[in-house]
Amino acid sequence: MGRSTIEILGGGPAGLYTGILLRRLLPHVRVRISEQNPQGATFGFGVVFSDQALDFLKGHDAETHSLVTPHMERWQNMTLNLPKGSVVLDGVGFSAIGRLELIEILRKRAEALGVEFRFSHIVESLDELKADLIVGADGVNSLVRWSLGSEFAPHLEVLGNHFAWFGTTRPFDTLTQSFVETEHGPLNAHCYRFSPDRSTFIVECDDDTFKAWNFSALGEEGSARLCGEIFRDILQGAPLIANKSMWRQFPRLWCDKWVAGRHVLLGDAAHTAHFSIGSGTRLDGGCHRAGQRSRGP
């Protein structure tokens, strides 16, 4: 009888950490991750963990916790920059790490445990995979979910606001939400430090404001320059950096079922959570306690 095989589609935090857990629990099983992007490529900037999520990780996987936490930036407070002044909310408790840095840490941990990888590999059909278990960690546009839509029963709604995920060289002291009023409508910036000299800087606005500023015609670099001007006071002269920072509308996804025969969904393939809640990586990467249902919109 042949060796049991598990195929994971998607090499983001969800797929990588699932590979780690599977090899720890089932060392006799062959686990392979297929990722469409080259090794070392990713989008976006930082990702966030709550203190509670890190406590869960430490309790169930102290080794991965010890690899990740030395590279994290931490803060306890949240700052709200409002048009008429600032407010500090104390005792929030979050940490952040660069998305690529996190992925590389998890990849090396997975490789050390015997997980196999295929980078720059696009799976066109589930028929290509002859595994005992197929895990769809392949994001909002999941091939696994799309191929078995009638069984997973997904519900997808696109929210009205537009957002773009930039970075900046200004290291924010706290998780910061900045609201500005402009001649073309209000905008918000969702910011947090993920390395000593870098922060995530997500700009969001409603549809009327998006159209009035004509962001759709500017492209990534043009939008980064304009948003840098709009939030000049908040950025204190630091530039915005683009990395696949095209404008998007947030897809709110939920599936009635996450399991269909030998196929399983997790992370953004199964559900999405708006970035404003923080700790999205906890939902995507399986760092919550066993048996606790993930939150999702």
pLDDT tens digits for range 24-57? 999 999 999 999 999 987 777 888 888 888 999 9
Sequence-ordered list of residues with C-beta below 8 angstroms from that of 199, at least 6 positions apart, any chain: 45, 46, 167, 168, 169, 170, 171, 172, 191, 192, 193
Please state, in angstroms and rounded to a whole number, the distance separating the CA atoms of residues 231 and 73. Answer: 23
User: Which pLDDT does position 295 carry in this prediction?
Assistant: 30
The pLDDT tens digits for 79-136 are 999 988 999 988 778 899 999 999 999 999 999 999 999 999 999 999 999 999 999 9
- Read off the pLDDT of each residue in 160-189 and give the average, rounded to a whole number: 95
Give how far the C-alpha of residue 282 lies from the chain's centroid of Cα atoms, to the nearest Å.
9
Q: Which helix (H) or strand (E) holds 75?
A: strand 73-75
How many of the other CB atoms lie within 10 Å of CB of 244?
Answer: 11
- pLDDT value, residue 273: 82
Identify the pLDDT of residue 206: 97
- Distance from the Cα of residue 2 to its chain's centroid: 36
What band does 203 get if pLDDT is binned at 50, 70 and 90?
very high
Retrieve residue 296's tokens.
């999702």
Mean pLDDT computed over every residue of the chain: 89
pTM: 0.85
Tokens of 198: 């870098």
Instruction: Report the candidate in 231, 251, 158 with the shortest Cα–Cα distance to residue 190.
Output: 231
Percentage of the chain exceeding pLDDT 70? 92
**pLDDT value at residue 293:** 31
Burial class (CB in 10 A: 0-12, 13-18, 19+), 65: middle
Q: Calculate mean pLDDT across residues 60-72.
A: 94
